Amino acid sequence: MRCAVLGAGGFLGTNLCLALQPRVASLRAFGRRQSFPSAMTGIEWIPGDFTEPTSVATAISGCDTVFHLVNATTPASANIDKLADLQSNVAPTLRLLEACREAGVKRVIFISSGGTIYGLPQQVPTPESAPTNPITAYGISKLAIEKYLGLYEYLHGLDYRVLRVANPFGPYQTALKSQGVIAAFMHQCASREPIHIWGDGSAVRDYVYVTDVVDALLAAAQHQGPSRVFNIGGGQGRSLLDILNVIKRVSGVTPEIQFSPGRPVDIPRSILDITLANRELGWAPQVSFDEGMQRTWAWAIAQQDGISPDHGV
């Protein structure tokens, strides 16, 4: 497999590159910047902006498999400027797909959003066949990209897989980008700052440890079967208060908690049905929530102490 990872400098990208590097014939990592440059030592890094067509074409040339992990926005920021979200995610993805077609790429694996694509779910756990009515422009962009992937396969034979990932957590997730509540909580806890909660803490989400997401990405790259879109989650829901309790346990710290009013993009309860990924990809989460939380805390503390992060996550 000759791979390009787009959005390689971020949380999932860094973890994916570390897993791909020893396994594939070639690997090219593309992104605006590396969140953890030391982690990417020895990996071919192509700096560039996803909205710049020439850079993207360079990154994918000669590759058979492209992992598209770029997120130019967050669920909250996307609603503030919906047009900017469209222009920074959907439009450059269309240029990417055209470039993939021209370059003879065989398969594109796209990270979609299990947490936003269904909107207010009518069925929980939510299967892939559920209605998709996002309440954030972020989810609409993801949905549009899924549909364009389907179109490119239909018209041009460009193979693809979509992973609708729940809330991933683990090492290399930073607390700075207002995504990743576990990273934010752990950072606040490790810094002895108050933990900040939107809403009353009852909001239930589906959390999945990052190495399980990476396993799903590797499986999706090899998958032969009829389905194209797979939910990837931890298989269970946990409230914010549940998470705080686990953090207290793994950290030994009892943080102060500050509550703020909920936001309109916050869905009360979101859990993915992961039956299809299990059946077709042979995939299931391998790392228990508590184990994942322990590993993430150990990494967060090492970061805090200025110790180089452990690559063997």
What amino acid positions are annotated as catalytic residues?
A: 138
Distance CA 258, CA 195 (A): 6
35 contacts a copy of itself (rule: CB under 8 A)? no
- What is the smallest separation between the CB atom of 118 and a copy of itself, expressed in angstroms? 12
Single out the segment in contact with a copy of itself by CB under 8 A; choices: 63-71, 89-97, 102-110, 206-214: 89-97
Single out the segment in contact with a copy of itself by CB under 8 A; choices: 138-146, 210-218, 275-283, 297-305: 138-146
Nearer to a copy of itself, 25 or 155 (CB): 155
Interface pick for a copy of itself out of 264, 305, 306, 312 (rule CB under 8 A): 264
- What is the smallest separation between the CB atom of 134 and a copy of itself, expressed in angstroms? 6
- What is the smallest separation between the CB atom of 184 and a copy of itself, expressed in angstroms? 24
- What is the smallest separation between the CB atom of 61 and a copy of itself, expressed in angstroms? 20
3-state secondary structure of 35: coil
Give the number of C-alpha atoms closer than 13 A to the C-alpha of residue 34, restricted to the C-beta side.
Answer: 17
- What is the smallest separation between the CB atom of 150 and a copy of itself, expressed in angstroms? 5
- What is the smallest separation between the CB atom of 133 and a copy of itself, expressed in angstroms? 5
303 contacts a copy of itself (rule: CB under 8 A)? no
20 contacts a copy of itself (rule: CB under 8 A)? no
Which residues face 286 on adjacent strands?
none
Q: Are 108 and 69 in contact (CB under 8 A)?
A: no
103 contacts a copy of itself (rule: CB under 8 A)? no
- Measured CA to CA in angstroms, residue 25 lies from 4, 22, 76, 109, 216 at distances of 11, 9, 38, 18, 19
Which residues ranging from 268 to 297 are in contact with a copy of itself (CB under 8 A)? none
Distance CA 283, CA 239 (A): 24
18, with CB counted inside 10 A (0-12, 13-18, 19+), is buried
Helix (H) or strand (E) holding 297: helix 289-304
Which residues ranging from 118 to 137 are in contact with a copy of itself (CB under 8 A)? 119, 129, 131-137
Which residues face 108 on adjacent strands?
66, 160
95 contacts a copy of itself (rule: CB under 8 A)? yes
What residues contact 143, with CB distance under 8 A and at least 6 apart? 112, 117, 132, 134
With contacts defined by CB under 8 A, how many residues of the chain interact with a copy of itself?
29
25 contacts a copy of itself (rule: CB under 8 A)? no
98 contacts a copy of itself (rule: CB under 8 A)? yes
- What is the smallest separation between the CB atom of 122 and a copy of itself, expressed in angstroms? 11
Tokens of 15: 């973890």
Q: 26-63 b/e with 16+ CB inside 10 Å = b?
A: ebbbbbbebbbeebbeebebbebebbeeebbbbbbeeb
242, with CB counted inside 10 A (0-12, 13-18, 19+), is middle
Interface pick for a copy of itself out of 21, 49, 148, 266 (rule CB under 8 A): 148
Which residues ranging from 216 to 245 are in contact with a copy of itself (CB under 8 A)? none
Tokens of 238: 């946990």
Q: Closest by alpha carbon to 229, among 184, 272, 292, 290?
A: 272
199 contacts a copy of itself (rule: CB under 8 A)? no
Provide the binding-site residues for a copy of itself, judged by CB under 8 A: 79, 82-83, 86-87, 90-91, 94-95, 98, 119, 129, 131-137, 140, 143-144, 147-148, 150-151, 154-155, 264
